[in-house]
Structure 1
């Protein structure tokens, strides 16, 4: 691996590991919060002035905000194309500039009163400085043994516009908003989204994509979030209960198939080859087909 690409990979790895650590901390906080709420009631928990509970809530919010912030940093870093830079120093300058951007901050601080604006800035500054310090202390020898990671790149706005225009021509999506439910198209099947929130079934969809030769796919989030191109191995269907985005689609460069998630609770799969593989991989596929309530 070239040293510039290795440096970019190291920074991505750092961010992803930090996010995973914060998720673990959050899950532990949520578990403790839930146990206390069961014991004393939600109203009492929210209104409690007990210093231990106040600290617990503050730590939970802080972890959620830090996770959100480093996610934004990772998105910015994954927009950077290492091949565009001639040296590690040039790349590092760009990465640090991205990290220091005022645009990178957590929206979750806005919805709580546990931290003042100045405290928010201080917390985020510490996180950014830790990452910058890590980047500045990486030595050349470390770049000689960096293992490759999965590919994922944040798409630029003009790339997203181009993909949306092309997918509209191919699949007649129009102004989006659940375009396939009730369309009667023979090359598309609309499923209940919960059918594919099952991990086993979803993994079989990924297997189907690999069988038709898809190594990288586009993810376009509509109206929110960030769109990207990524290895099929890290493809997942975002769940609106855990993600701010409730509508979007996935496709290939050739646009010969589409997976469309609507805000109405449906997931449509289109494309002859992909549908054949999905039907073959999931014997119970008919059980997941969406039907209008009688």
Structure 2
């Protein structure tokens, strides 16, 4: 782990711990800091400027996230979170970080990366992400998608089925995939982190050869020849419950 990675990892660790200690309003605020630090995950170089870059980016995201708060108590909380964060990052000394344990990989995509993936998904699957208000995809609405797809009610998936899907995804796409969210904050994540608990989200790989759409209506859709074939071959009992509304 490079010195730059150590600074990024310890900063994200701080933010995740801060998030876990608070209630919903506090967590909503801290998410602003997380939205910033996630841009730096995976970065290995630039040690000379990394702390300044982290502060600039994280505080920009934090200010955007917290600008809706105007009550005195909330404003005090905003200032406390901000000042404590600045102090933590400023005082980080890599020479005193004897052992830094890696945390789960979750890198926020830059705007250009997101646009590339979204454009490919639109072309390949007629998937428009969430740029259109109240956007739905198969099976909640009919699209122009012609790629082989199957859908299920999400309550038929238990941990065993989810882990089997993870294995299928790894066999197709390796250890990293993309996660797209309704907030249009998108990530490169470890394939092993795949879950169906992300309501209104989608997963795909860099080539967009497959797509998984998880809706807020309790549906999950799988598209792409290799992915669908893998599910049909590996989840023979589950496949009996496919396409419940057809």
TM-score by length of 2: 0.82
Consecutive unaligned residues in structure 2, runs of 5 or more: none
Question: d(CA) in 2 for partners of 1:251 and 1:213?
Answer: 9
Flag the structure with larger Rg: 1
Q: 1:97 to 1:159 in 2, by over 3 A?
A: same
Question: d(CA) in 1 for partners of 2:105 and 2:42?
Answer: 12
Structure with bigger helix share is: 1
Q: 1:211 to 1:268 in 2, by over 3 A?
A: same
Contact kept, 8 Å, 1:266 with 1:290, in 2: the verdict is no
SS, match of residue 145 in structure 1: coil
Q: 2:65 matched to which residue of 1?
A: 104
Question: d(CA) in 2 for partners of 1:87 and 1:20?
Answer: 28
Contact kept, 8 Å, 2:7 with 2:94, in 1: the verdict is no
| 1:239 CA displacement | 4.3
Q: 2:213 matched to which residue of 1?
A: 260
| 1:84 CA displacement | 7.8
Contact kept, 8 Å, 1:178 with 1:264, in 2: the verdict is no
| 1:74 CA displacement | 0.8
TM-score by length of 1: 0.70
Q: 2:93 aligns with which of 135, 139, 143?
A: 139
Consecutive unaligned residues in structure 1, runs of 5 or more: 23-62, 110-115, 241-245
Matched, 1:5 2:13: no
Contact kept, 8 Å, 1:96 with 1:132, in 2: the verdict is yes
| 1:225 CA displacement | 4.9
Q: 1:279 aligns with which of 207, 232, 237?
A: 232
Q: 1:49 matched to which residue of 2?
A: none
SS, match of residue 40 in structure 2: coil
Q: 1:92 aligns with which of 51, 68, 71?
A: 51
Count of residue pairs the alignment pairs up: 237
SS, match of residue 129 in structure 1: helix
Matched, 1:233 2:186: no
| 1:85 CA displacement | 5.3
Contact kept, 8 Å, 2:177 with 2:189, in 1: the verdict is yes
| 1:185 CA displacement | 5.7
Q: 1:163 matched to which residue of 2?
A: 117
SS, match of residue 276 in structure 1: helix
